[in-house]
Structure 1
Amino acid sequence: MANRKEWNHVPDKLPIEVAPVWRWPLNLVEIFRWYVGSWLPVSINLCLVALAYAAYHWASPTLAEGASPGWWIAEIWLRNLMLTVVLAQGLHLVFHRYQLQTTEKKYDPRPYPRKGRAFDFDDQLADNIFWTLASGVTIWSGYEALLWWAIANGHAPTITWSSDPVWFVAIFLLIPIWQSFYFYWIHRLLHTRLFYPVHALHHRNVDVGPWSGLSMHPVEHALYFGSVLIHFIVPVHPVHVICHLMFYGLYAITTHTGFEGLWIAGRKRVDLGTFHHQIHHRYFEVNYGTLEVPWDKWFGTFHDGTAAAKERMKKRLAERRRA
């Protein structure tokens, strides 16, 4: 039997590079393009901010309602459930079920979803949907309800647009950077001997689809969404809390699409699945973080997608086994 090729598709631009603010010599033009390009003209980041505002105005409690437990908690859960289902199932239907974009830009050559005893219900898709909705959406919504209650009762500091417009905008820009900082350390913790039995549920997905992004054990969800607890220290508006949690919840869905992006009329219109993280799902012991803060480069676990990086990884893991 012929060997299956390692990747069905790799990005045109390799090696993968970290954010230019961490490269030397500094290139101010490149730095400007990187950060503007991550937001404009159409990006997942910008869509999440718009969606957070829509959720705040039309599908959230008032601060008066949030001061005490009530049905508003179930309303938050239902809103997050609906957003998750629409996004994850929509991407699944387009990219995997009906393959409307074919499989040309799909990273992994194996089909998603798969059947097998590795998954609950012997089915990868059912497994992913169950853990995403039963655990992921519930814990995400629980953290949001906690912050609504804390802000409404004065237990968490707040700002408004009128009180500090510069910081109000800056919070949105800082959420992805905080995510990169926080995610690396939580992810390394999950790969320790103590926590890996928990994280193994997510790593059932060697090949990934949109429903894989939030398919995690409840303990991992508690750690993952726990990033939002920083707002007990850093003052924000409720819309920032919604956006912060959407960034962790919905962004995980888009980055696990398994495809490089959405192509329309021969051009990539939206970046989706990241090859950097797809490599982590293939090899497990590289690329624990993201590209905004290069912890992996600093700690020797960075894989830039090249053959040379794969050889370095194999050598490092062999040395670790001998130690």
Structure 2
Amino acid sequence: MEGSNNSFQDHSKGQKTWNHTTPVIFSPLFDWPPRPKAAFLELTKRWVTLTRPALWLIIAWLIYRFLVPDLTVMQAISFDWIGVIFLRNYLLMVVVAGGLHLYFFTFRAQGKRLKYHHLETHEKSRKFSFRNQVWDNMFWSLASGVTIWSCYEVLYYWGLGNGVIPSFAFVDHPVFFVIWLFVLPVLTSSHFYLIHRLLHWPPLYRSVHGVHHRNIHTGPWSGLSMHPVEHIIYISSVLVHFVIPSHPVILMLHLYMRCLGPSFSHSGFEKLLVKDTKVIDSADFHHQLHHRFFECNYGTADAPWDRWFGSYHDGSDEVTLEVKERRKRMYRKKKSA
């Protein structure tokens, strides 16, 4: 199992807490000099092996095939079809985030194997709503996150049904469908980096993004636990489908990557194991470092924005010391101001 024998040293306490191979690397798609073979494998493997994107694609196709009402029904605003979309999305979130929480934290099915941090996730603190991290995370994920996600989806299908939003059929443009699969990871990564840097602007951080950053030690319910304003901004990358023709399955895939994917990426475990066998990649160490150190790794590994703009933490001990020293200087500067 890759990464199972590698440790990240927490210099502040002398405890080995992280379980990951370093350095954390970016997609080879942007390597220079170019590596065409590696880039092609990176673009294709996520769709032809058991990965989270492939899982979301399968779920998106099944739901579109069997659980999406006819477009003629969605031409008029009606609780009949809107209620179905909301209920389905709430169930998806409960099954994915709730299932991962039960597996990793309630049943402790893989113990602490490949767990990034030795501390437990379930904090009881006044900083959380209800003074409980899990209840706080569930509330913001379900009451705000799924609601806003569903509103975007309802607006899309209403526009599609009324001919306001462009789309294409798979049988007419299969190549465009595949192109979207290749473009989507880079698109979402780029959008996330840009809006994430914006959310770390002090006024927005204090009033909005701080809700998400209550979670230093994250769990599956932490992923979509955000302020409603952040949900609107975070999910807004799907608006690209409102102006550029795509397929409804691509729209739903995009939503699942944004809204269900964080349950995995914030789980705190590098991989999901059944006994000693890796089933699927789970948490995202690149983003885990962001929750640990805050002023680094604003994007994802799918696009090297952090490397280009100097906010990259590769997980190494050396960079950790640099980040800690930089934070100390920042805090000293704030105190003296």
Are the equivalent residues in 2 in contact too, given 1:189–1:195 (CA < 8 A)? Answer: yes
Q: 2:209 aligns with which of 185, 199, 219?
A: 199
Distance change (3 Å), C-alpha of 1:120 and 1:7: farther
Are the equivalent residues in 2 in contact too, given 1:5–1:109 (CA < 8 A)? Answer: no
Count of matched residue pairs = 321
Q: Tell me what 1:254 maps to.
A: 264
List alignment gaps of at least 5 residues for structure 2.
Answer: 1-11
Are the equivalent residues in 2 in contact too, given 1:10–1:275 (CA < 8 A)? Answer: no
Q: Which amino acid aligns with 1:277?
A: H
Q: Tell me what 2:295 maps to.
A: 285
Runs of 4+ residues deviating >6 angstroms = none
Distance change (3 Å), C-alpha of 1:6 and 1:39: farther
Secondary structure of the 2:17 match is coil
Deviates more, 1:262-271 or 1:67-76: 262-271
Residues 214-233 of structure 1 correspond to what in structure 2 (within 5 A)?
A: 214-233=224-243
Q: Give the Cα–Cα distance (whole angstroms) in 2 for the partners of residues 235 and 30 of structure 1.
A: 29
Secondary structure of the 2:172 match is coil
Q: Which amino acid aligns with 2:66?
A: W
Residues 168-179 of structure 1 correspond to what in structure 2 (within 5 A)?
A: 168-179=177-188
- CA drift of 1:261 comes to 0.6
- CA drift of 1:320 comes to 4.9
For residues 262-289 of structure 1, what are the alpha-carbon distances to aligned partners after superposition, in whole Å with 9 as ceiling and x for unaligned? 1234232210101111100011110000
Are the equivalent residues in 1 in contact too, given 2:110–2:275 (CA < 8 A)? Answer: no
Q: Give the Cα–Cα distance (whole angstroms) in 2 for the partners of residues 278 and 5 of structure 1.
A: 19
Q: Give the Cα–Cα distance (whole angstroms) in 1 for the partners of residues 96 and 159 of structure 2.
A: 29
Deviates more, 1:250-259 or 1:32-41: 32-41
Q: Which amino acid aligns with 1:25?
A: P
User: Among the aligned pairs, what percent are the same residue?
Assistant: 41
Q: 2:133 aligns with which of 124, 142, 150?
A: 124
Secondary structure of the 2:47 match is coil
Q: Tell me what 1:23 maps to.
A: 31
Q: Tell me what 1:64 maps to.
A: 72
Distance change (3 Å), C-alpha of 1:98 and 1:5: farther
For residues 5-63 of structure 1, what are the alpha-carbon distances to aligned partners after superposition, in whole Å with 9 as ceiling and x for unaligned? 5552321x311111112223333333233333333321111110110011112222211
For residues 189-238 of structure 1, what are the alpha-carbon distances to aligned partners after superposition, in whole Å with 9 as ceiling and x for unaligned? 11002210200000000001000000000000000111111112210122
Residues 104-119 of structure 1 correspond to what in structure 2 (within 5 A)?
A: 104-119=113-128
Deviates more, 1:107-116 or 1:77-86: 107-116
Q: Which amino acid aligns with 1:291?
A: A
Secondary structure of the 1:201 match is helix
How large is the Cα RMSD of the aligned pairs?
1.8
For residues 91-110 of structure 1, what are the alpha-carbon distances to aligned partners after superposition, in whole Å with 9 as ceiling and x for unaligned? 10111111110112110111
Q: Which amino acid aligns with 1:128?
A: N
Q: Give the Cα–Cα distance (whole angstroms) in 1 for the partners of residues 109 and 279 of structure 2.
A: 15
Secondary structure of the 1:185 match is helix
Q: Give the Cα–Cα distance (whole angstroms) in 1 for the partners of residues 244 and 215 of structure 2.
A: 35
Are the equivalent residues in 1 in contact too, given 2:26–2:304 (CA < 8 A)? Answer: yes
Q: 2:322 aligns with which of 286, 306, 312?
A: 312
Q: Tell me what 2:254 maps to.
A: 244
Question: Could you tell me the TM-score, scaled by structure 2's length?
Answer: 0.90
Secondary structure of the 2:244 match is coil
Q: Which amino acid aligns with 1:50?
A: I
List alignment gaps of at least 5 residues for structure 1.
Answer: none
Q: 2:163 aligns with which of 154, 158, 162?
A: 154
